[in-house]
Structure 1
Amino acid sequence: MSWRFLLFISTFFAIYGGANALIFRWLRPVLPAAGPWRLGLMLWFGLMVLSPVISRNLESWGWLRPAAVFDVVGYYWMGLVFVGIFLLGLAKLAGWLLPIGPKTAVWLGLLATAAAFAYGYYEAANPGLSFVTVEAKLPPGVKRIRIAQIADQHLGYTINSDRLANVCRLVASQKPDIVVSTGDLLENTMADPAAVLEPLRRLDPPLGKWAVLGNHEFYMDLNAALEYHRMAGFELLRGQGRALPGALSLAGVDDRPQSDGPAERAMLQALPQDMPVVFLKHRPDVTDESRGRFDLMLCGHTHGGQMFPFGLIVRRVFPMLEGLHQLPGGEKVFVSRGSGLWGPPLRILAPPEVVIIDLVPAGAK
């Protein structure tokens, strides 16, 4: 376990635990007086803070049903906390500035939190289609190559087969030539992976289905993640390139905290350059060694911030937060907001998307 991961986990639980403690403090005007009820609520808050760790440990021991309970309940609670910390905070401020009293302020904050949660749940459950057209050096006679990109689906306890089926219906409706998954397809070990992955397995584009591993595939059982990709019909690109004759060249790498620029350069240099080179990479991180050696990089990881205002923070780490970006050398990078979600089953002002990229000859846009 790297020091960066330990630092991230420590920081996360310090912030998340602090947010829970602050919300509990703000709720005191409407909570029962000291006694069993208040003690029970304190224990509940503490249990919810620890629920991600409890769920992961239960999963590692093979107790999938209890793990699923802690995972789902814990992430729903996390969503309430993330929304509530802002809206209850605003309500608390209103209680100081306006003559409405502390109890009224808290109830208004709770009402606003419930409304925002409902909106975020609806937005997360209804992915849409995003269309992008990119000019590329297509082989002679090829007028268009259509790529369908899914990203950050995070299949597991929170994101189930029904939501995946909805995503796959959107993909199939656009009749893509090729389907790609740019990492974090998976989140948890599954009791019945074949049933969950069936909608993906049924997709049969003429140029195949290709994928790269994201960071969350490495957080779960990696062998299970590899098998699940195989069951879904994906061919994984793990530091490899593939030429698809008469169409395009594909390359992909595993996610890692620090990109291996020299390895990327060697991989990309080995591909035919008379066709578009499409580079699948989970994080939107362009190395100096890869510049000038691909036409289009497809990424995910950022979720577009997933919930406002977290996108403002994520953009500080990943300036290419979402959408299409052109580099100084002419290479293009598209960063998907993701077709699923991680953690809380919410998206606020960062709707999920299935991305349809049309590669067309120069001047055909």
Structure 2
Amino acid sequence: MHLYVAARLYRIDAIRSRIRPGAWALGALLLWLVYLGGVHLGDEALDWRWWPGQFAMTWLGILFITSVCLLVSDLATCFGYWWRPHNRKLTAGAALAGALVSAFAIYQAVRTPVVVEHELVLKDLPAHLDGTVLVALSDIHLGAQRRAAWMERVVERINAVNPAAVLLLGDQVEDEPANDPRLAGVLRAIRAPRGVWAVTGNHEYYGNAAGTIAEFEAGGVRWLRDERIELLPGLHLAGIDDIGSRMRNGGNILSGLDQLYPGAAQGATILMAHIPAAPVIDRAAARGVGLMLSGHTHGGQIWPFNYLVAQRFPYVDGAHHVGDMQIIVTRGAGGWGPRMRLWKPGEMLKLTLRAPR
């Protein structure tokens, strides 16, 4: 993609008239080497290495979007054989479109997540809990880019919803603990009388999971690791530890869920499970769970990768029904890899629970 974009951009008259071919080729080569160096360094480190790593990931996203725009132009002109008087102008227009769409995708990724509301009837919910409001977030990915200052804006938006409890659905960090001294204070500013509850995601286990758990516990967050509690009288909250490592190693991904519910779930039940794997969904529905909340997919993050994600997971984004169970898969509050989202921004869920009538 890098070579393709470099070659097509050099067809634009405004570039060809100002830059010699050798200088353009040298610049493209140097940019490619910076990209390779950034990929090698990665973007998880919290020191200077984050910048080339972040450039590499974002450049990859820009290349993809720009390549798609340029390819549309090339197909329209049969790679320059049709509309010859205009094909260079079309190439310039496609390059401009790639730049504008990329800028929009970056904006969608870095903005404060929007509130997406779901009103749902939860089976067996007691009448006195009708109207209970919860907030759920997933895939925050705190780290080198998203720090306590970004999370502070998220907390302000959470508090504006006035939830009874806040549910964090995994991938709270990029890989390693955020190591931000302000984070604990920011998390303690969340106003939720029934607490803030979390489950682990795959990224917690890519790094120091114990350190991340302790870091969030210092901010008042309580973790559910194959555990369940009674959140409110008649409303049960359960959380399973991340199944990602077991998926990668061929282990039993249902062991945590089976430990929680060897038989049918009793009462109104919400299950927090980071990865919406089909076996977990089917087993939870069979056990009588009323609502399952997941993340992990990022909603595909950059269109059209949502179609590829759908080949791996049955539900990529939004609310669905599996038998009597409802499942909501959130596209997440943050992002991973290229700091880009196309076309939908990050989100946090406002869940209003209704009792059956």
Q: Same fold (TM over 0.5)?
A: yes
Distance 2:275 2:189 in 1: 27
Asked whether the 8 Å contact 2:37–2:52 carries over to 1, the reply is no
Read off the aligned partner of 2:305 and give its amino acid letter.
F
**What's the counterpart of residue 15 of structure 1?**
none
Residues 41-98 of structure 1: per-residue CA shift (max 9 Å, x gap) = 2132133144233126x83xxxx32222123322332231121121122233344343
**Superposed displacement of residue 271, structure 1:** 8.8
TM-align CA RMSD: 2.5
- Please list every run of 5 or more consecutive structure 1 residues that lacks an aligned counterpart in the other structure: 1-18
Asked whether the 8 Å contact 2:274–2:294 carries over to 1, the reply is yes
Residues 234-290 of structure 1: per-residue CA shift (max 9 Å, x gap) = 21112222223514212112222336224312212479613x111111111243433
Asked whether the 8 Å contact 2:292–2:328 carries over to 1, the reply is yes
Task: Give the direction of change, closer, same or farther, for the CA distance of 1:232–1:53 in structure 2 (3 Å limit).
Answer: farther
**What's the counterpart of residue 113 of structure 2?**
127
Asked whether the 8 Å contact 1:262–1:289 carries over to 2, the reply is no
Secondary structure of the 2:340 match is coil
Read off the aligned partner of 2:55 and give its amino acid letter.
V
**Superposed displacement of residue 118, structure 1:** 2.2
**What's the counterpart of residue 302 of structure 1?**
297
Alignment pair present for 1:91 and 2:73:
yes
- Structure whose residues are more often helix by fraction: 1
Asked whether the 8 Å contact 1:20–1:49 carries over to 2, the reply is no
Asked whether the 8 Å contact 1:212–1:254 carries over to 2, the reply is yes
**What's the counterpart of residue 315 of structure 1?**
310
**Superposed displacement of residue 222, structure 1:** 2.4
Task: Give the direction of change, closer, same or farther, for the CA distance of 1:218–1:191 in structure 2 (3 Å limit).
Answer: closer
Asked whether the 8 Å contact 1:242–1:271 carries over to 2, the reply is no
Q: How does 1:26-105 map to 2 (within 5 A)?
A: 26-29=8-11, 30=15, 32-35=19-22, 38-55=25-42, 59=45, 64-95=46-77, 96=80, 97-100=82-85, 103-105=88-90
Asked whether the 8 Å contact 2:226–2:259 carries over to 1, the reply is no
**What's the counterpart of residue 108 of structure 1?**
93
Task: Give the direction of change, closer, same or farther, for the CA distance of 1:41–1:198 in structure 2 (3 Å limit).
Answer: farther
Comparing 35-44 and 202-211, the one that deviates more:
35-44
Of 332, 343, 348, the residue aligned with 2:342 is 348
TM-score normalised over the length of structure 1: 0.83
TM-score normalised over the length of structure 2: 0.85
Distance 1:216 1:162 in 2: 21
Secondary structure of the 2:335 match is coil
Comparing 303-312 and 21-30, the one that deviates more:
21-30
Task: Give the direction of change, closer, same or farther, for the CA distance of 1:198–1:94 in structure 2 (3 Å limit).
Answer: farther
Residues 142-190 of structure 1: per-residue CA shift (max 9 Å, x gap) = 3232110011111112323343222222211111011011111111546
Task: Give the direction of change, closer, same or farther, for the CA distance of 1:89–1:180 in structure 2 (3 Å limit).
Answer: same
**What's the counterpart of residue 243 of structure 2?**
256
Comparing 256-265 and 171-180, the one that deviates more:
256-265
**Superposed displacement of residue 214, structure 1:** 1.1
Read off the aligned partner of 2:351 and give its amino acid letter.
I
Q: What is the identity percentage for the equivalent residue pairs of Structure 1 and Structure 2?
A: 26
Of 193, 217, 223, the residue aligned with 2:180 is 193
Q: How does 1:125-164 map to 2 (within 5 A)?
A: 125-136=111-122, 137-139=124-126, 141-164=128-151
Comparing 254-263 and 210-219, the one that deviates more:
254-263
Give the paired residue count: 338
**What's the counterpart of residue 24 of structure 1?**
6
